[in-house]
Amino acid sequence: MSKSADVIVLGLSPTGLYAVREAARAGYSVLGVGAPGAPGLWSRYLSDRIAADTAEARVTAILDRVSVGGPKPVLIVTSDQDLEAVVERAEALSGHVHLQGSYTDGLAGRIMDKDSFYRLCDAQGVAYPSLWPAPVTDAAAYRDRIAYPAMIKPARIQSVKHLMAGQKGWIVRSAAEFDAVLPRIPHEAGTLLMQEIVPGPESDITLWCGYLDRDGQVRQRFTARKLRQYPAGFGSASLVQSEPCPETAEIAEGLLSALGYRGIAAAEFKRHPETGALKIIEVNPRPSLWFSVSTRAGVPLIETAIAEARGAALPAAAAQKNGVLWRYTTKDLTSRLFYALNRDFVLPAPDTARKAPVTGRADVTGAWDDPAPGFGELATFAGKLAGRVTARVRGRS
């Protein structure tokens, strides 16, 4: 490939694969940069590809590939680990590639640090689940102060993800469980967030994603409902359907506009079944796993980001198609089986009866015009699942 790709997609998980496909189908040449074995490496839509083991090595590969002074490709970052490396080297990268504004002004880093993110929410009056932060060495003092059930998770989970065995955190239902779990949390976890678990099924979670331009205007928006996730209860989406969620959009866009956010973002909320409050769970300053449903619903987020970075006319704001279903089949079946076998789980099984009539289906890894990533991803998923099971068994022994 020549060194003048229009777009570089950093991270080639299914999230990155979505970005590759939307960019290439819009007519742009795409260089993919990802970890060895990532399904996106198999995509026929890539003009060229680079595989490197670490986020730092992947960023270095981009700096080596793209010359200063030549045409700048647009960099789309699709994983937290890669985004951390990009934020740390944003000054150097900005001479080589187009970066969205939130990566150069420090805001993305503050959002990725969950403790910092919730302070930003406090300042803007945005409700979130009750929270007790503390260094891992001081967390024991909160045993009798937090509300149970609770989730304990690192404030910077992306920095210790390799120690988490696929978990988002540790669930504790009582002080006794707190006592049992705390010694197993590695000191490398740093600051811990001990957080209220919002009751109700995960099908009460609503999603927003959008693109805010350089002036802070929302140029594209999309909303959906998360019907199931993997790992069950506290994971990433495995079953999503597009639907109108006006309150979700209003809160997400109000928060990001007030913070001066610029670029692609995603947000997740859950409604408290007793109080009715819609509480923000997280914001991702990058595309999220389920974004291909937005493309299938007619909302061109990646295309819009590329167009603005290149100084081209932006696609018109799109009205989304509702009822489009996105299913990450392997993970969704695993989560569905989990609920069937664990009736006493801390959260009830998702209410999938909330699913509306299906008006379309979005691809995840396999696609009729790009099937190879689907086969590659199946092999990768099987290997990861086996590794996580082994790690958990060893952790209990």
pLDDT in tens, 217-259: 999 999 999 999 999 998 899 999 999 999 999 999 999 999 9
* Tokens found for residue 282: 């997280």
Q: Please say if the pLDDT value at position 379 is more than 90.
A: no
Same domain, yes or no: 191 and 143? yes
How do residues 118-176 score in pLDDT, each as one tens digit? 999 999 999 999 999 999 999 999 999 999 999 998 887 766 666 565 567 899 999 99
> Please, are residues 107 and 261 in contact by the beta-carbon 8 Å criterion?
yes
- Residue 397: pLDDT band with limits 50, 70, 90: low
Rounded Cα gap, residues 94 and 91, in angstroms:
5
Q: Is residue 71 part of a domain?
A: yes
State whether residue 165 is helix, strand or coil.
coil
State whether residue 367 is helix, strand or coil.
coil
Q: Please say if the pLDDT value at position 2 is more than 50.
A: no
State whether residue 186 is helix, strand or coil.
coil
Same domain, yes or no: 69 and 140? no
CA 175 remoteness from chain centre: 31
Q: What is the CATH number of the domain that holds 185?
A: 3.30.1490
* Tokens found for residue 106: 């420090």
Q: Is residue 29 part of a domain?
A: yes
Q: Is residue 113 part of a domain?
A: no
- Residue 1: pLDDT band with limits 50, 70, 90: very low
pTM over 0.85: yes
Burial (CB < 10 A; 0-12, 13-18, 19+), residue 329, is: middle
Same domain, yes or no: 82 and 140? no
Domain final residue, candidates 141, 174, 196: 196
Average pLDDT across the chain, whole number: 93
Query: Beta 218-230 vs 236-242: how paired, if at all?
Result: antiparallel
Same domain, yes or no: 354 and 240? yes
Provide the domain limits for residue 317: 202-365
How do residues 164-223 score in pLDDT, each as one tens digit? 655 678 999 999 999 999 998 888 888 899 999 999 999 999 999 999 999 999 999 999
Same domain, yes or no: 346 and 271? yes
Q: Report how many domains make up the chain.
A: 3
| 115 C-beta neighbours (distance < 10 Å), count | 17
Identity at 88, one-letter amino acid code: E
* Tokens found for residue 215: 């002036």
Output the pLDDT for position 57. Answer: 98
Same domain, yes or no: 382 and 361? no
Q: Please say if the pLDDT value at position 269 is more than 60.
A: yes
Q: At what angle do helices 372-396 and 329-341 cross, to 10 degrees?
A: 30
Q: What is the CATH number of the domain that holds 34?
A: 3.40.50.720
> Please, are residues 93 and 76 in contact by the beta-carbon 8 Å criterion?
no
Output the pLDDT for position 160. Answer: 62
Q: Which residues pair with 134 in a beta bridge?
A: 192
Same domain, yes or no: 343 and 207? yes
Q: Is residue 146 part of a domain?
A: yes
**198 Cβ partners below 8 Å, 6+ apart?**
129, 204, 270, 272, 279, 281
Q: How many residues does the chain have?
A: 397
